[in-house]
Structure 1
């Protein structure tokens, strides 16, 4: 069977509709509205979102997506990995059960701190780092045995946020990466640098664009992450300061065959109206991405993308 085209691998995530695992995050849009708007925006699939968004039973999760014509990608699973007395496997297995029931095969791990929210995080000692790296390899192997690909998502407010921590994971484990173009930038790293230097470790991609000036204030500790999201930290693709086009060119040149998951983290103060709600931003991001993933004749945009990847866009 032929591989799906890149444009057919554009997926969404409930966080683009303000649906989050963080207590008190904001207004949570109802399931049926979110899934219907995903299809209206032209998305082919979705990640699961936080516990409680989709029905609890694995088969019911699958049925909810099928009802709206959406395939399942997998999902974001934050678990504590650095505490020697805590076994994250039961949490991971519960998530995998739901993935498999819906035909999904992507487990997106985050190295959770063990506290709610993403505004503060601990510094790990050498022993905790050793536990975390060992657990990542163990969970990746366990997921593979169940037919699922695990990747680590560097995420603001988790144990693996900054570039030095990402490098420590790359050097100390074999787990693949989820390249999140927004969280890397807000964590003080250049996502384009990773799409060049570590593209062989990228198994999954979350695409975000970012208000660079606001991100600098988060990095400097002037604005908490959650408040920055409320102020518009994340933008539709092409409207911010991430070199999304260059990253797409790097992935394409490397033969990346995974999902492109659109994630524009937002916080809603209340139910959005039809004109200014999340759907408009998602549509803009889909249009941006489809245009850059569309096949081009030899010597056309595809060749230009390869040149862009080789020269760094200079």
Structure 2
């Protein structure tokens, strides 16, 4: 199986307060390529160097294929600033030769533990700003992909259907987040195969996933405790998703995105590298 990339969050890279230890970009790219991967997502703002990024990536034989941009789109005052960030991220992605920008439909609340339910006026503002986001993306030669995400404004089936009806943007299919929200990712492919512009592959521990779903444990704590598993070690039908996508003619990237939290710097040869190697062995059989 080809067209497989990695993501900094798989190595625990998330600068959010309390998330955990963040490794260097140099170690991330070194281990990424050691796993046989040559493609990456951009990661959080500032993780990979903005200056001379292409030269930096070339040292590791890597390229950027997409970037996750979390923005609040349903509040006019917040969205204006968010779209400035979008412009900057889109420019950086375009400069690396990437062709996808993933929008994380963020909320204005801390964390990911309270359901987000937009009212009609907020949905109106959301779609106005999503259209502006898409215009910025198009101006930079990028395809927009909305990422249904646990604890964000687009999460489960109802909000996914609303985005599908009310806009023509693409989707980033994240197997783990859809599964947490009660959406079968295989059925998602069958319903929206022509809208899938990017894919995040992650597996979910069944027992821990249910605790997240029923709000018994905060999302970030669940990540620390290993709610996301190497591919094939959880309960998501990863093979079925890949098969459905390939049969539908999907020709984009599959990004291994196993959200991880590190408490300390892993010893050489240990840490996220081990899980990624497990996932790669699984995909060899798909």
Q: TM-score range by the shorter chain?
A: over 0.9
Distance 2:269 2:131 in 1: 45
Q: In the alignment, which residue of structure 2 is the partner of 1:132?
A: 126
* Secondary structure at 2:76 match in 1: coil
Is 2:249 the partner of 1:221?
Answer: no
Q: In the alignment, which residue of structure 2 is the partner of 1:20?
A: 14
Q: In the alignment, which residue of structure 2 is the partner of 1:188?
A: 182
More divergent stretch after superposition (63-72 vs 257-266)? 63-72
Q: In the alignment, which residue of structure 2 is the partner of 1:42?
A: 36
Shift of 1:25: 0.5
Considering Cα pairs closer than 8 Å and 6+ residues apart, tell me whether 1 or 2 has the greater RCO: 2
Structure 1's 166 and 21: CA in aligned 2 closer, same or farther, altered over 3 A? farther
Shift of 1:254: 0.6
1:33 aligned to 27, 33, 53, which one? 27
CA contact (8 A) 1:48 1:76 kept: yes
CA contact (8 A) 2:148 2:177 kept: yes
Aligned 1:59-208 pairs, distance under 5 A: 60-85=52-77, 86-87=79-80, 88-208=82-202
Q: In the alignment, which residue of structure 2 is the partner of 1:310?
A: none
Distance 1:278 1:125 in 2: 40
Aligned 1:236-251 pairs, distance under 5 A: 236-251=230-245
CA contact (8 A) 1:113 1:121 kept: no
Give CA deviations for 1:262-294 in whole Å, capped at 9, x if unaligned: 0011111111123541101101112222332xx
Q: In the alignment, which residue of structure 2 is the partner of 1:260?
A: 254
Give CA deviations for 1:37-67 in whole Å, capped at 9, x if unaligned: 000001120001001211133xx22222111
For the aligned residue pairs, the C-alpha RMSD in angstroms reads 1.4
* Secondary structure at 1:274 match in 2: coil
CA contact (8 A) 1:22 1:116 kept: no
**Runs ≥4 in structure 1, deviation > 4 angstroms?**
none
* Secondary structure at 2:211 match in 1: helix
* Secondary structure at 2:260 match in 1: coil
Shift of 1:121: 4.9
> What is the number of residues matched between the two proteins?
284
Structure 1's 142 and 56: CA in aligned 2 closer, same or farther, altered over 3 A? closer
Shift of 1:118: 2.3
* Secondary structure at 1:198 match in 2: helix
* Secondary structure at 1:242 match in 2: coil
Bigger radius of gyration: 1
Distance 2:179 2:127 in 1: 23
Is 2:5 the partner of 1:11?
Answer: yes
Q: What's the TM-score once normalised by structure 1's chain length? A: 0.87
Aligned 1:225-304 pairs, distance under 5 A: 225-292=219-286
**Tell me, which stretches of 5 or more residues in structure 2 are unaligned?**
none
Q: What's the TM-score once normalised by structure 2's chain length? A: 0.95
